[in-house]
Amino acid sequence: MTDWQGITLVRADNFKLLRRIDDTTALVKLSPHISLLSTISAIICTKLRSHLLAYS
């Protein structure tokens, strides 16, 4: 009985670990898009600032 409980506990831990790995891979897949968006927004902000400085 205790062996069976141990096996189910190990399976539950492995499932949690797999879910955590899935979450991290999703974050890793999203991170390039996030950095790309931040780069684009930084470029837009600098261009807007230079335009505003040129007109003021």
Specify the higher pLDDT residue, 4 or 22. 22
User: Is the pTM higher than 0.75?
Assistant: no
Q: For residues 35 and 17, what is the distance between their CA atoms, to the nearest angstrom? A: 27
Residue 27 DSSP code = H
CA distances, 47 to each of 42, 44, 50, 53 (Å): 9, 5, 5, 10
- Of the two residues 2 and 52, the one the predictor is more confident about is 52
Q: What is the pLDDT of residues 12-48, one digit of tens each?
A: 676 777 777 777 777 777 777 777 778 888 888 898 8
Q: Calculate Rg over the CA atoms of the chain.
A: 24
Tokens of 22: 């899935």
3-class secondary-structure state, position 44? helix
The DSSP secondary-structure symbol of 1 reads -
